[in-house]
Chain A
Amino acid sequence: MSGERYALDRVLWEVCRGGEALEQFRAAPTEYLAGRGLPEPLRQALIAVDVRTIFLAGAHPFLLYNFALRLEGGFSLPFVGRYLEQLEGLHTGDLVT
């Protein structure tokens, strides 16, 4: 579990920093996520920016938010509203990798 959570946080971290990682993830996400030890449902959640599923997998919320913000292309209140809608009813769990 901890290795999977680290791999998940690693993808969020790489993509939210922009640059080549962001371009590669956008251009070929399946290839980008290959070989990282992430299960298929989680890979699909990352490709779909399924915030709720990624959060429930134990992703660090700060990284998750910046990942989603980066893929959104910029900050807006509607974006924050959509983001938080996906987290409704959830509480932050264990974040230890």
Chain B
Amino acid sequence: MARVVEVLCVPHDPTLPGSARAGEAAPPPLRQVIGHFAELRARLAAASPDVLLVVAGDHLSQWFLDNMPTFLIGKAPRVAGPFAHERELFGVEAYDTAADGELARYLLRQGLTRSIDFGYSDDFTVDHGFTVPLSFLRPEQDLPVVPLFTNVMAPPLATAGRFFELGRIVAELIDAYPEDVRVAVIASGHLSNAIGGPAMARFRTEPETEWDRRTWRLFTEGKAEDLVEDCTYERMIAAGTGTPGFLDYVFALGLAGGRNPDWSSMVASEFGPACGFAEWGLR
């Protein structure tokens, strides 16, 4: 039987690979972020997963307003990206690995029996929301991936309660998967974030907002019911137009059964939007 052996929450800011390349020249808080990725890369390797389920919001790169899925399973033969325009604008490196089509199709089929009406795609590119965490956490590009796309950009969005419930059900589905595989789950998201909005540079004067403090406390203390109630679309948007990207962390919390992470760290500084890291070591 399959089982979840590791659950990680990590940021996907496309400028972070540049900070990694800068090495010692990067400001200390960004070096701390890169260090967290290195630590979680080691913990992921120690968990010896056979497959990675990666949950991330697409940034209107693959899915646009003409055809917007709320939750979608990718089941193409390869999981590759990011898009050319992301490489040009941000210098994000390519990532290309096999997909686990069997697990993807299983989750798709079984989700439908549990009132999770996933969309699906056999032809897609993953954007930096997927490739940045994968490049940091599994640069070997040697493990098959199941991508789970979530709409956290184009309202109306699924509620935080729905994201939590989705995580809980996906955990149950993986537990019931008849193959003997070890599954690691990577949730890609962020805390308050306002790319393109009036508050985009707020972190320079207010690295950690009241929303960040309250949300991260509820999240890291495993107060799932309070967190889900608190994470309304209106409150997240008020904290910054990209803040609903946190919903993928709520998915991870649901997948981990609502309990507090075994390890977590929020790095807030004037050098970029606050970065949240969390790990549940289930092996």
Contacts and interface: CB of A to CB of B under 8 A. Distances in A.
**A, B bound:** yes
B156 A96 contact: yes
Interface stretch (A13-21, A23-31, A36-44): A13-21
Interface string B130-174: 000000000000000000000001111000000000000000000
A31 B49 CA distance: 53
B85 A80 contact: no
**Contact residue range for chain B?**
20 to 34
Main secondary structure of the interface of B (DSSP, over half): loop
Interface in B207-255: 237, 241-242
B65 A97 contact: yes
Nearest to A51: B196
Nearest to B201: A84
A62 B242 contact: yes
A90 B175 CA distance: 48
Contacts of A13: 60, 64-65
A64 B157 CA distance: 20
Interface of B: 59-60, 64-66, 83-85, 88-89, 153-156, 194-198, 200-201, 237, 241-242
18 contacts: A6-B65, A13-B60, A17-B83, A18-B84, A18-B88, A19-B85, A61-B194, A61-B197, A62-B241, A65-B200, A66-B89, A75-B89, A80-B201, A84-B198, A91-B198, A92-B198, A92-B237, A95-B154
Interface of A: 6, 9-10, 13, 16-19, 60-66, 69-70, 74-75, 80, 83-84, 87-92, 95-97
